Amino acid sequence: MMKTLAPLLIAVLPTSSLWAAETKPPLTAEQREQRAEFNYKMFCRGCHGPAGEGEKAVPHMNGFVGHFLKFEAGRNYLVQVPGSANAALNDEQLTEALNWIVMNISGDSLPENFKPYTVEEVAKLRQEPLFEAFEFRKKLLNDMLQKGIIKELPAQPLK
């Protein structure tokens, strides 16, 4: 009898656990927010600091990161910068983390017409990570200056 049940159990058990995983209820908005904050703490805070203030040559985000959302190349940059594009997060988690950063760290720099990142947008953009992130950031900051988005370049070294 055990010999006949063994193949059946081997065939059924993997699919039953898949079924259980698929029936898990989706996360609530509050749970997604908590996960996003947790992921910021785990994957971003080490370099960018608890409040996005940056450390050493790592750009500060606090009160500034929202300026990048005021034009397409800047919006794309936040996804394509190596720390985002190569993060050990799936597309949904990265999207949540980026939106959390923007909503919680931008301060007055957040544009009034801000549209949250979508999972599809993040999935597409992170496939093209920036390899010269410091040079690209320097160019974006100069573009912001020329467009009147910022009045002066940040004090941090641009490398």
pLDDT per residue over 123-148, tens digit each? Answer: 999 999 999 988 999 999 999 999 99
Higher-confidence position of 41 and 76: 76
Amino acid at 60: H
Contact (Cβ atoms closer than 8 angstroms) between residue 25 and residue 38: no
pLDDT computed for residue 11 by the predictor: 53
Q: What distance in Å separates the CA atoms of residue 112 and residue 134, rounded to the nearest whole number?
A: 27
pLDDT per residue over 98-113, tens digit each? Answer: 999 999 999 999 999 9
pLDDT band at 32 (very low <50, low <70, confident <90, very high): confident
Q: What is the 3-state secondary structure (H, E, C) of the chain?
A: CHHHHHHHHHHHHHHHHHHHHHCCCCCCHHHHHHHHHHHHHHHCHHHHCCCCCCCCCCCCCCCCHHHHHHCHHHHHHHHHCHHHHCCCCCHHHHHHHHHHHHHHHCHHHCCCCCCCCCHHHHHHHCCCCCCCHHHHHHHHHHHHHHHCCCCCCCCCCCC
Tokens of 43: 């994957």
Contact (Cβ atoms closer than 8 angstroms) between residue 65 and residue 101: yes
- In the chain, % of residues over pLDDT 70: 82
pLDDT computed for residue 128 by the predictor: 96
Domains and CATH numbers, the chain: 28-147 (1.10.760.10)
**What is the pLDDT averaged over residues 47-61?**
76
Global confidence as pTM: 0.78
**Mean per-residue pLDDT of the chain:** 84
pLDDT band at 9 (very low <50, low <70, confident <90, very high): very low
pLDDT computed for residue 51 by the predictor: 73
pLDDT score of 8 more than 80: no
pLDDT score of 85 more than 50: yes
- In the chain, % of residues over pLDDT 90: 53
